[in-house]
Amino acid sequence: MSATIPQQFTGYAAMDEAHGKKYEVESWSYTPQKWHEDLIDIKIDVSGVCGSCLHTMSNGWPRPTEYPAICGHEIIGTVVRAGSNTKHAVGDRVGVGAQAGSCLECDYCKQGLEQHCRKMQGTYQGIWEDGSVAQGGYADFTRVKGQLAVKIPENLENEPTAPLMCAGVTVYSPLKRFQAGPGKKVGVVGIGGLGHLALQIAKAMGAETYALSHSSSKIDDAEKLGVKRENFIVAKDAEATVKQWSNTFDIILITAPSENLPLDSLYFPLMRNMGAVILCALPETKLPPFFAHALVGKSLTLAGSLIGGTSELAELFDLAAKHDIKAWVETRPMSQATQTLQDMDAGKARYRYVLSNTKKD
């Protein structure tokens, strides 16, 4: 069966920082990590394009990017080789999110919360046991730890499901942890790749959903995502917004990496006591300083949330199947990776691009 698996995998890589800053990728082949029985090889069908890919390509994170870099960590494909220590079989349709490896033994790993494992390996830019740099999903194949791959239920299609692997689970995880559900009001800041999924997921969990945006341009989209029109808040003028909506939310989920988060002037005043303001996007700059008065005075939680693990993905798939949660996607051939990354950077995604090996030019 391994006869059809090439010695080298081929994908679209940012070759150096100069090209990465312009989101230019080119075809590049690499030797995957050394095979062992905890691993699986996946023939990739689709990979979503995540904001993290742009940050990584452009060397925008604190940890410098290792080039060449193949990004993409919203992968769905078919298992073509399965290590004997994995629960997978050849032919399984599986997804891999932002983690492709972890220790498999710690408390977090045992709970399927591998994003918290100290040995968590990024699906791209992680360093494998043999020293090689992990490469992501804009490629023909990938080799990952079997335990980090999640089986995709039959009734979920590849394209609208791929973005659940990172964007979806990134918002599902904190919504679950802070108990979004019936009787709770959830405000989602930013209607984009993460936000459009957060609105669907919070509603499916039973919460009343609100969208906070800087303009009214996405009000029709928000309505299609389950937000009542009167729950669409144009939060451009902090003072006016606070006047109308103070003490409203149990949860505010910040999904857009804004460089000037108005925490004490806007989000804290909008919260009900004991609520949580959750950051699940990573700006490239430091947060602005803020007064702690409202945070302390209302016993608020200012929380961060990092992606999600395999147990959360399995729960999210159940929820998605039951409530028809789908990412809004535009699918393009993998060969159009450069154009797609540039369009993503230009903010043109409504709301996610998916690169596909099965869709041709």
**Chain positions contacting Zn ion, by CB under 5 A:** 50, 52, 102-103, 106, 109, 117, 166
The residues that bridge with 75 in the sheet, in sequence order, are: 47, 96
Cβ closest to Zn ion, residue 50 vs residue 349 = 50
Q: Which helix (H) or strand (E) holds 20?
A: helix 17-21
Whichever of 102 and 255 has its CB closer to Zn ion, that residue is 102
Tell me which residue of 261, 256, 272 sits closest to 185, measured CA to CA.
272
**CB neighbours (10 Å) of residue 291?**
11
Token duo for residue 230: 């009167």
CB 248 within 8 A of CB 272: yes
- Based on CB atoms, which residue is closest to Zn ion, 108 or 268? 108
Give the separation between CA 353 and CA 349, rounded to whole angstroms. Answer: 6
Cα angle: 214, vertex 218, 220; to 5 degrees: 145
Q: How far apart are the first and last CA of the chain?
A: 29
99-101 vs 9-14, strand pairing mode: unpaired
State how far the alpha carbon of 181 is from the alpha carbons of 119, 184, 222, 302, 306, in Å: 33, 6, 19, 19, 21
Computed on alpha carbons and rounded to an integer, the radius of gyration of the chain in Å comes to 20
Strand 9-14 and strand 26-30: the pairing is antiparallel
Q: Which helix (H) or strand (E) holds 314?
A: helix 310-323
C-alpha 147: how far from chain center: 19
Q: Quick one: the chain helix, strand, coil %, rounded to 5?
A: 30, 25, 45
Q: How many degrees, rounded to 5, is the angle at CA 139 between CA 135 and CA 141? A: 85
Distances (CA, A) of 345 to 68, 192, 295: 19, 12, 33
